[in-house]
Homo-oligomer: A and B are copies of this chain.
């Protein structure tokens, strides 16, 4: 066993309380005692044991994070933002993944709760009806959703918090961008709606844009997220020349890039034979040729803001202030990245 506060105290010839004070409130210790204790600490290589501290304090200065996967750059960026912000604010991060399995969400959260994290940042499949979120609320554990976008209720109505872009409006912008390039037969390629409520919101944005342009929307194509081949779906999509889309709006960039690869494999010339628009704005999309046109979400900032929001909640709970005020739903600005993956349609 490593040295504890006790051995430090013994070696320095003081009580354990004095050592504790030096650690937590150095001002309350005389200069010479401090000196002595510091020496003992150095000599023993003492390092405070957070487990003891946490047990006593009832808080761990640790936040739990639950994300669908790290295979999608977007979540890696978000976690990066979370970790940076947490560290800057002297919190540690305990991280877990659900692999997009809604069933994993509750296990993940249970584990974090057993570790007594102070709060949780998470992205769930569907925030609107989610037993895990209900549990968190019931147990009064502060949590902040990322990417999931809470409904636009009167401030604080749900008592829940989310940090995201306006998925629906952003998707609408994306489709408008395609429309402005002359496309009319635009089809949406989406991750599974039941694994991502964002995908559904983006589809609604697609419908908005198509509707506003008085165009008949086409049925969405739902693909397994991160499936690298969906040749059959593409074949079918391309088969009828009359219904064949000229542009694809994809619910995320990974999907968009996979689709482009698959379409090329089928012999299409891109963007000549098909324009492709993504969503997420992953950095790599800007490096490739053609540049992947996309809606840019500030993923790292989403993580950063989520941390600050969560710590805000923890703070006011510490001070036992009145229940959450202000907007529970934070909507961050998105932007449009145009790129060569979208080409103007002849005749525009």
Contacts and interface: CB of A to CB of B under 8 A. Distances in A.
Copies of this protein in the assembly total 2
A323 B264 CA distance: 55
A21 interface: no
A199 to B, nearest CB: 20
A288 interface: yes
B288 A257 contact: yes
Nearest to A110: B47
A47 B92 contact: no
Contacts of A264: 289
Contact of A258 (B52, B254, B260, B287): B287
A157 B283 CA distance: 42
Contacts of A270: 289
Interface in A275-289: 283-284, 286-289
Interface string A264-301: 10000010000000000001101111000000000000
A346 interface: no
Given A71-B76, A92-B96, A258-B287, 18 more contacts: A1-B58, A50-B116, A51-B115, A70-B80, A71-B77, A71-B80, A73-B73, A84-B97, A87-B96, A92-B112, A92-B115, A93-B95, A93-B96, A254-B284, A257-B288, A260-B289, A261-B286, A261-B288
Interface of A: 1-2, 45, 47-52, 54-55, 58, 60, 62, 69-71, 73, 76-77, 79-80, 83-84, 87, 92-97, 110-116, 139, 254, 257-258, 260-261, 264, 270, 283-284, 286-289
10 contacts: A48-B114, A50-B115, A69-B80, A73-B284, A83-B96, A92-B115, A257-B284, A257-B287, A260-B289, A289-B289
